[in-house]
Amino acid sequence: MPETRETALRGDCANCFGLCCVALPFARSADFAVDKPSGDPCRNLRDDFRCGIHTRLRPSGFQGCTVYDCFGAGQHVSQVTFGGVSWRAAPETARQMYEVFPVVRQLHELLRYLTEALGRRAARGLHGELGTALARVEELTALDADALEKLDVASVRGEVNPLLLRTSELVRAEAGGRPPKSRRGADLIGKRLREARLRGADLRGALLIAADLTGADLSLTDLIGADLRDAQLAGADLTDALFLTQPQLNAARGDAATRLPDGFERPAHWVS
């Protein structure tokens, strides 16, 4: 099956040099069993760049790995930017490869959001601008390693963000009625929001860690950047939720009654 933009924006570990397992640091916590500095291979990384405990990450204390997604940046950097030559085969490229990886991940995340925006009928009036922005970001991902290392990603995000905000307004307007109070960036950690009517709400960047959203209506809600770690989504309705990502779902808790948008997988650790 030919690769589509959507599949290219999903992690493909089989074609990656284990970059997230090497380039990224992590600290001993509830998410990781050990400390690991940037540039040191995880102790579970095998010679073939696969994870030795992939099927038992959570019980082994590596929950953080199960909620991470590079949005396809790993395979792009491995196979395109560095032409299929790994940091093991060419150790002199390692430092730059580790620097470039998070840059490309941010670009791919933007591509993920722009691709979704282009698929929203409510934003059809913006499709020309969105398409232009998407093509521009795709061009940036094709830069060589030296250019990517120097790229000002914050500036790129600053150019794209207004389009995503306008898309959000148009999509959320489909909810009809009086729009809910904006909770953009709100601290809702541990809040009791059971059965909350949040249809069409702006929860961009909200902290919803361990919030109780059981049975909440989150349809047409903007969830870009929202922190859903351990949020209870049992029975919640996320139909057509905007800018939701699989890692956000993986970090939350839900059940068989949680309604998900098309194209998302129900995390294996959720209650059946």
Q: What is the pLDDT of residues 123-158, one digit of tens each?
A: 999 999 999 999 999 999 999 999 999 999 999 999
The helix or strand, by DSSP H or E, that contains position 94, with its residue range, turns out to be: helix 94-118
In this predicted model, which residue has the larger pLDDT, 54 or 146? Answer: 146
Structure tokens at 74: 């790993």
pLDDT in tens, 186-235: 999 999 999 999 999 999 999 999 999 999 999 999 999 999 999 999 99
- Tell whether the model's pLDDT for residue 2 goes beyond 80: no
Task: Confirm if 137 and 158 have CB atoms less than 8 A apart.
Answer: no
When mean pLDDT is compared over 9-18, 20-29, 143-152, the highest value belongs to: 143-152
**Token pair 């929203």 in the structure block, residue:** 120
pLDDT in tens, 91-100: 999 999 999 9
pLDDT in tens, 56-109: 998 999 989 988 999 999 999 999 999 999 999 999 999 999 999 999 999 999
* Angstrom distances, CA of residue 151 to CA of 107, 111, 131, 132: 10, 16, 21, 19
Number of Cβ atoms within 10 Å of the Cβ of 38: 12
* Angstrom distances, CA of residue 68 to CA of 63, 85, 205, 254: 9, 24, 17, 18
Q: What is the mean pLDDT of residues 230-247?
A: 96
* Angstrom distances, CA of residue 218 to CA of 104, 262, 269: 30, 14, 21
| pTM for the structure as a whole | 0.93
115: exposed, middle or buried (Cβ count in 10 Å: 0-12, 13-18, 19+): middle
Sorting pLDDT into bands at 50, 70 and 90, what band is 5?
low
How many H helices and E strands in the chain? 8, 0
